């Protein structure tokens, strides 16, 4: 594609100006890392501004490596063609989509947003699609799947060009669907530009990422962009009517967004679900559609919030024409979700759960779910991340003291802060509770996991919370490989225990 053609297409959607310097090269690819530019590759280099570096400073290096043009936010004093736009981050995703032949148009794109539940709903929805026999790609917090192979995810919502390359691979691998988490950061920064979704789901909105969005209204507006800026003409959506922000979307997009609810007063307007049986190993749900159709699904997942996630997936699947048998099969086949109440049942009668819960709301839900099901004692391990909302530390500390029988405070991602200082902040809440709960601080997370599991007996449940599927512990100057699930399985192996 000629640079001038790319410019004309971009100009239809973005503010753009072309400075040609008398040249109109063929452009076939886009890069935003100057080190990945190669001579002869027909590359336009996107000068994206990040948190730690400004891509404009690497333009010369990119050109030296073979870039034929630049996508930038200001004209640079270089005799090379440049497309100038006010926002490179969004424009580069759209530019990549144009260069790669609009790959999202070759797939049925399903986008999922909200504070909690995105990852679980992504896995459930993907499982339902695959239960129909269709090939489905996935982009989310834990993994990216191109329809054949999985890779560990670096970001919930990758940069725009990386999304477009994944979609190209999915289409090439025979995928007809892509299920994708849409984070508030990704939506706010325009990383989804160039994508068109046929379905979208909204789970809930609770205080999170407010150091970035500043307040709940701006946080909601970022989530709302999925529905206002990235949907195709014939789109439909699903939103949680039990959440005030979800109800707001249902009311705003009347007839386009189906409501779903576990509430007793939901009436006939919504899809509903009720838990008919529940235990540590799973639950059964009765799902009812607005037209009165109903059916039972069985899931290895537990908790009312997972019932809501299952229901959201069922609504989207029904709107796409999947029958109840396919939905039921897909739900039942979705077993262990990395870091989302990821269950390990040991032959000594101890059950451990690895969960990503790190906020007050997440911890309350995770502990509340397990508290209602545990036959013995509830042991909880948690440690707050550094450089993130310090006010929640004593709040969660108090919650643990009130809801658990045994608390272990450990290290999460301390980043630039002292792990011991973070632990002391949590201890304040434990003390403030006035509950005489057994509480230990063990900063070495590997040791802490082994110690808390050793302290559990028959019928006890251990919740290891905070990091979930994260594969590292981040310190100020370095990163240490670490995965909670590996520590749990290693503990069982070292004690010759069987696990399922």
Per-residue CA distances from 290 to 198, 217, 260, 287, 322 (Å): 21, 30, 9, 10, 16
Residue 50 to residue 351: CA distance in whole angstroms: 42
30-81 pLDDT tens trace:
999 999 998 888 999 999 998 788 999 999 999 999 999 999 999 999 999 9
pLDDT tens for residues 489-499?
Answer: 999 999 999 99
95, 44 Cβ separation under 8 angstroms: yes
Average pLDDT over residues 385-404: 96
How far, CA to CA in Å, does 144 sit from each of 85, 117, 135, 139?
30, 17, 14, 5
Share of the chain above pLDDT 90, in %: 92
CA 31 centroid distance within chain: 24
Map out the domains of the chain with their CATH numbers: 3-99 (3.40.1390.10), 103-333 (3.40.1190.10), 342-494 (3.90.190.20)
Provide the pLDDT for residue 126: 98
Beta carbons within 10 angstroms of residue 137's beta carbon: 26
Structure token pair of residue 487 = 């520590």
Q: How many helices (H) and strands (E) does the chain have?
A: 16, 24
Give 401's pLDDT tier (boundaries 50, 70, 90): very high
Mean pLDDT of 463-483: 97
Query: What's the pLDDT at 267?
Result: 65
């Amino acid at each position: 594609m000629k640079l001038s053609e790319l410019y004309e297409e971009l100009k239809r959607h973005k503010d753009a100006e072309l400075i040609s310097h008398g040249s109109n090269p063929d452009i076939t690819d886009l890069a935003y890392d100057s080190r990945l530019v190669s001579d002869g590759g027909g590359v336009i280099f996107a000068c994206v501004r990040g948190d730690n570096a400004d891509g404009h400073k690497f333009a010369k290096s990119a050109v030296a490596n073979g870039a034929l043009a630049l996508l930038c936010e200001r004209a640079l004093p270089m005799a090379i063609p440049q497309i100038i736009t006010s926002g490179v981050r969004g424009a580069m995703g759209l530019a990549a989509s144009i260069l790669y032949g609009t790959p999202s148009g070759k797939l049925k794109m399903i986008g999922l947003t909200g504070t909690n539940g995105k990852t679980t709903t992504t896995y459930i929805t993907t499982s339902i699609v695959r239960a129909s026999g269709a090939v489905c790609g996935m982009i989310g917090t834990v993994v990216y799947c191109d329809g054949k192979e999985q890779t560990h995810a670096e970001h919930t919502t990758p940069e725009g060009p990386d999304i477009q390359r994944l979609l190209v691979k999915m289409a090439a691998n025979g995928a007809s669907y892509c299920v994708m988490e849409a984070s508030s950061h990704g939506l706010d920064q325009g990383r989804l530009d160039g994508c068109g979704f046929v379905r979208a789901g909204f789970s809930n909105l609770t205080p999170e990422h407010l150091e970035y969005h500043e307040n709940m209204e701006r946080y909601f507006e970022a989530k709302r962009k999925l529905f206002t800026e990235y949907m195709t003409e014939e789109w439909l959506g699903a939103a949680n009517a039990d959440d005030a922000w979800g109800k707001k979307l249902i009311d705003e997009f009347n007839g386009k967004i189906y409501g779903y609810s576990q509430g007793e007063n939901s009436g006939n307007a919504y899809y509903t679900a009720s838990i008919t049986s529940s235990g540590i190993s799973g639950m059964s749900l009765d799902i009812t559609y607005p037209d009165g159709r109903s059916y039972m699904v069985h899931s290895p997942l537990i908790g009312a919030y997972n019932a809501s996630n299952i229901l959201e997936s069922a609504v989207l699947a029904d709107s796409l024409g999947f029958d109840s048998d396919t939905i039921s099969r897909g739900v039942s086949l979705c077993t262990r979700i990395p870091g989302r109440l990821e269950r390990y049942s040991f032959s000594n009668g101890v059950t451990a759960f690895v969960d990503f819960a790190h906020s007050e709301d997440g911890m309350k839900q995770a502990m509340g779910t397990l508290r209602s099901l545990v036959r013995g004692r509830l042991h909880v391990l948690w440690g707050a991340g550094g450089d993130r909302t310090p006010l929640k530390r004593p709040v969660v500390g108090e919650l643990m003291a009130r809801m658990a029988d045994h608390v272990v405070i450990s290290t999460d991602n301390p980043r630039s802060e002292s792990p011991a200082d973070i632990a002391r902040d949590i201890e304040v809440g434990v003390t403030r509770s006035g509950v005489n709960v057994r509480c230990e601080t063990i900063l070495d997370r590997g040791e802490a996991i082994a110690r808390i599991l050793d302290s559990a007996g028959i019928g006890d449940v251990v919740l290891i919370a905070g990091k979930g599927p994260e594969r590292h512990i981040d310190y100020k100057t370095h990163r240490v490989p670490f995965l909670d699930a590996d520590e749990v399985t290693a503990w069982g192996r070292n004690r010759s225990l069987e696990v399922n």
